[in-house]
Structure 1
C-alpha cells in the first residue's frame, strides 16, 4: 500500500492548515481541531507533529530538537517518522532549517523570516491551574478575565517571596490573550516577542492549536514591584565550549562529584566550538 506524503491524508492536512490560519489571525487564541491518531502516544508531541506534517513540503529542510538536543529519543523518532513519509532533508543547524519542531526549547539562534518553529505543548490552557472547567475557561478568555492567573502569581510571591514558575511562564499576547508558551524555560520567553519567524504551538491530547505570528508583542505576566526576570547564566561557563550567557544544564560529574554546566542547545554549542577563536 502506498504511503501518503507526510503520513496524514490530504483532508486532515487541509483541516489542520485551516485551523492554523485562524490561530495566526488571532494571536494567542486556542483554536480547537480534530486531533488525529498517530503512531506515537498522545502527550509525546502529537500536536506539534500534526502541525509539521500538515505544513511540510518537499523543498523544506527539517530540524527536530528535544529540550535542546537533536539526538534525544523523542527527537530521533519524530524526525525518522517525518523523513520516512516525506523524504525531506534534515539538518542540525538552526539557520539552515525552514521548519523546526521543538520540545521545551526555543533555539539560541534567532529565527529568520523564512522559518517556522513548531512547539509541542502538553497543557495549552494557562488558566487550568485555577479553573478545571473547559467551559468556564473559554468564557474567561472571552471576557478577558485573567484575575485568576494574576492571583496565582501573587500567591507565589506571598508564599515564597518571588514568582516560582521556572517553565511554562504565562504571557500576554498582543495585549489580548494570556497564553501558555509550552514548558519552555523562562529564559526563552523574551524570544517570543517581535520574532522574525512564525511560532506555532500544538497540543494533540488537548486538541488545540495556537500561534505567535512574526513581530507580535508578547509580555510575560509580572508586577511593577516584582518584574519578570529570566534565569541568569552570566556567572557560569559551559565546560565544553566556554560559552556564557546562554541557557545551560547543571550537571554532576559522576567521577569527581563536581557540579558543572553545559550549553543546553547542543547544535548551537557545536557551531560555536567550530568557529575559530570564538571559544576556548
Structure 2
C-alpha cells in the first residue's frame, strides 16, 4: 500500500504550492496567506491545516512529535502521527528535544524550542477580528489599514464586565509591530513563548484555507492596556502531584472517589521526563548515602 502513495501523501504540486505559501507567510509575519486547502483523510476542524503544513515540509531525516492539548497519546495526536508515519516512514517521538517538527493542538511544549525545530500549530479560526466583524472582505480591509479598534474594544468590554480580560485561550497578539494575529487556541500561559522564539512557528487553518507564520526571533506581544496588563494563568502554590513541577501549565483534576482536587502537568512528555529525572537523582542520592 505504501508504494501506491506519494511520499507524505500529498502530490508534489500540492506540496510546492503549500511551501510557496509558507515562504510568503514567513516573509510577512502574522499575515494570513490564503492557500488551496486540500481534502484530507481526517475531518476539517481536526487539524487539516496543520497536517498539510507538516506533510509539505517533512523530509526523510525529520523526527516528528504530535501533541493534542499537551498529550502525546490522545486520539487526534496518535492518528495524525500514524498517518504521517505510514506515508513517510519518518521516525516519531514523544520527546520534545528529539523532534525536528512538532505539530500541536492547543499547546506549546514546556521545553523551550530551538532553531533546529519547527512548531506547527493547528488553527480552527485564524481571523482575530472574526468576533467583531463577520465579513472576510471587511477584515482584510481592516488589516490593510491597520485598524484594530475592534480587537481593543473586545478586550475593553471584557474588562468592564469582569474587571479583567477574560480570554481563556487564543488571546490576540501583535506580531512584528504590524499585524494582530490569532495565536491558535493556546492558553494565555503560552503566549509569551512566541515572543523571540528560536524556532519557526507555522500556523495552518485547513477549513478557513489560511497559513500564517512567526519567524524565529520575532517580536510577539499580547494585546493589553497599560493599566490592565495581560495576565497568564497562575498556578502559584500548586504543583504536579506526579513530578512536583511548579513552573508549568497544570491541569486541575478531581479524584472521583474522594472529591479531592489535585494538579498534574498538562505536557505529559515533560511530566514523564521530569519524573524519570527525579527517580534517577533519588537513586544516585541513595547510592551516595551508602
Structure-2-length-normalised TM-score: 0.95
DSSP 3-state at the match of 1:157: helix
Offset, 1:234: 2.6
**Match of residue 30 from structure 2:** 28
In 2, the alpha carbon distance for the partners of 1:245 and 1:195 equals 18
Provide the alpha-carbon RMSD of the alignment.
1.1
Structure-1-length-normalised TM-score: 0.98
In 2, the alpha carbon distance for the partners of 1:279 and 1:125 equals 47
1:106-121 correspondence to structure 2 within 5 Å? 106-121=108-123
1:41-52 correspondence to structure 2 within 5 Å? 41-52=43-54
Q: Identify the structure with the greater helix proportion.
A: 2
1:65-214 correspondence to structure 2 within 5 Å? 65-214=67-216
1:247–1:263 contact (8 Å) kept in structure 2: yes
Q: Deviations over 1:179-226 (max 9, x none)?
A: 000000000000000000000000000000000000000000000110
Mark the structure with the bigger radius of gyration: 2
**Match of residue 4 from structure 1:** 6
**Match of residue 273 from structure 1:** 275
In 2, the alpha carbon distance for the partners of 1:145 and 1:279 equals 54
In 2, the alpha carbon distance for the partners of 1:128 and 1:146 equals 12
Structure 1: unaligned runs, 5 residues or longer: none
Q: Deviations over 1:27-74 (max 9, x none)?
A: 000000000000000000000000000000000000000000000000
**Match of residue 288 from structure 2:** none
In 1, the alpha carbon distance for the partners of 2:280 and 2:272 equals 11
In 2, the alpha carbon distance for the partners of 1:35 and 1:279 equals 49
**Match of residue 258 from structure 1:** 260
DSSP 3-state at the match of 2:56: helix
In 1, the alpha carbon distance for the partners of 2:42 and 2:92 equals 20
Of 221, 224, 243, which residue of structure 1 is paired with 2:223? 221
1:232–1:245 contact (8 Å) kept in structure 2: no
Structure 2: unaligned runs, 5 residues or longer: 283-290
In 1, the alpha carbon distance for the partners of 2:265 and 2:67 equals 14
